[in-house]
Amino acid sequence: MNATENYSIRVEPTQNSRLSQVDFDNLKFGKILSDHMLVADYDDGEWKDVSIVPYGDISFSPSMSALHYGQAIFEGIKAYKFADGTVSIFRPDRNWERFNKSAARLQMPEVPEEIFMDGLNKLLDIDRNWVPAKEGSSLYIRPFMFGTEAALGVHPSKSYKFIIITGPVGAYYSKPISLKVETYYTRAAEGGVGFSKNAGNYALSLYPTQLANDEGYDQIMWTDASEHKYIEEAGTANLIFRIGDTIITPHGDTILHGVTRRTIMELAEKWGYKTEQRKVSVQELIDGIKAGTVTEAFAAGTAATITDISRIGFEGQDYNLPPVEGREFSNKVLHYLNELRYGKVADPFGWNYLVK
Ligand SMILES: *Cc1c(COP(=O)(O)O)cnc(C)c1O
């Protein structure tokens, strides 16, 4: 890939915007998609035909490789509107970086900055009226890439499509959730693909999650593949605990390195908390809950930012966490991030990427 290469982005504006039909007071996640999408094709070793076109169906061959062998990765990002109309994307450079790590692990081409970042900027400029102005609402951004070669032989696809679609989403007031510690099924193993945001990681979680739901839990607390002793993630979000006065998050290649998790750990450090990224055993957590030293536990991800955990089930026994109202750290983080992302306070970290 020639880094100095210039990708001109062709723009084909829609002739019939759907914006006026959108009820911004009743937004269901992922149901409403904005007028435009960015599409780029990779073929013969290079990216070409980068364009912003009206959102719509695409056609493909039934032998398209992604459908059979799973070369499919994605990202999730949010954009917010300030009171003065400025559109700001939260830390998209981190998602671009992670996207290319996912791509490398699945033997897919990297997407250059001029297509991912500049394309994102241009797409949001064109669809800036789709970014909800209401506090709590945001524009969800979904970049994704998949192998498009029509061939049933098992090999890395020779061609790929990179697409960015977006859609407005409403305020996400997440109720505290219950988690079942999973001691049989596995999300990711050492040397596997747990750190990459690929479609297969979601497919494999659906069945065990249904079993947990049937037992009355909202989500799974995944544990390590070899011993099921160490905590990894909650469903499709990262886990953060407050044990004593330390903010702790599990670490390693089997977990997805979330931008929200990273953001929260950086804030904790900046605010003077002791922080640790290390292995946390289920036993340490259960003992801490019993002893009263585990005062906070929450899941962190782009969709809800923070989802507090109220109850944890392990080997048929339930353990309850302290009431959410008293959780100083998670409440403080959520409040601060809301102020920051809507431009109500200064951005000393440079986390807000303003659309030009
Ligand atoms: C996307 C994702 C997360 C959260 O990452 P963010 O960048 O904070 O949105 C955590 N775990 C898994 C498995 C994920 O796919």
Q: What is the pLDDT of residues 271-280, one digit of tens each?
A: 999 999 999 9
- How far apart are the C-alpha atoms of 298 and 296, rounded to whole Å? 7
The answer to whether residues 251 and 207 touch, using CB atoms and an 8 Å cutoff, is no
SS3 88: strand
Residues lining ligand 1, Cβ inside 6 A:
76, 197, 201, 233, 236-238, 256, 258-261, 300-302
pLDDT at site 1: 44
Token couple for 21: 């039909």
- Ligand 1 midpoint to CA 235 (Å): 9
Predicted model pTM: 0.96
pLDDT at residue 3 in the model: 47
So what's the pLDDT on residue 5? Answer: 61
Task: Spell out the residues 6+ positions from residue 185 whose beta carbon is closer than 8 angstroms to its own.
Answer: 207, 208, 220
- 46-54 and 10-11: which strand pairing? parallel
Distance of CA 84 from the midpoint of ligand 1 (Å)? 30
Amino acid 172: pLDDT = 76
CATH number, span 3-170:
3.30.470.10
For the four alpha carbons of 9, 14, 19 and 20, in that order, the dihedral sign comes to positive
Q: How far is the CA of 261 from the centre of ligand 1 (A)?
A: 8
In the chain, which segments carry CATH 3.20.10.10? Answer: 177-341
Distance 62 CA to ligand 1 centre (A): 30
Q: What one-letter code names the amino acid at 162? A: F
Q: Give the model's pLDDT for residue 135.
A: 85
Residues of the chain with CATH 3.30.470.10: 3-170
Residue 94 amino acid letter: R
Write down the CATH number for the domain with range 177-341.
Answer: 3.20.10.10
List the residue whose alpha carbon is closest to atom 5 of ligand 1.
258
Upper half-sphere CA count for residue 155 (Cβ side, 13 Å): 6
Residue whose CA is at the smallest distance from ligand 1 atom 6: 258
**151 Cα: distance to centroid of ligand 1 (angstroms):** 31
Residue ranges in the chain whose pLDDT is less than 70: 1-5
Which residue has a Cα nearest atom 10 of ligand 1? Answer: 237
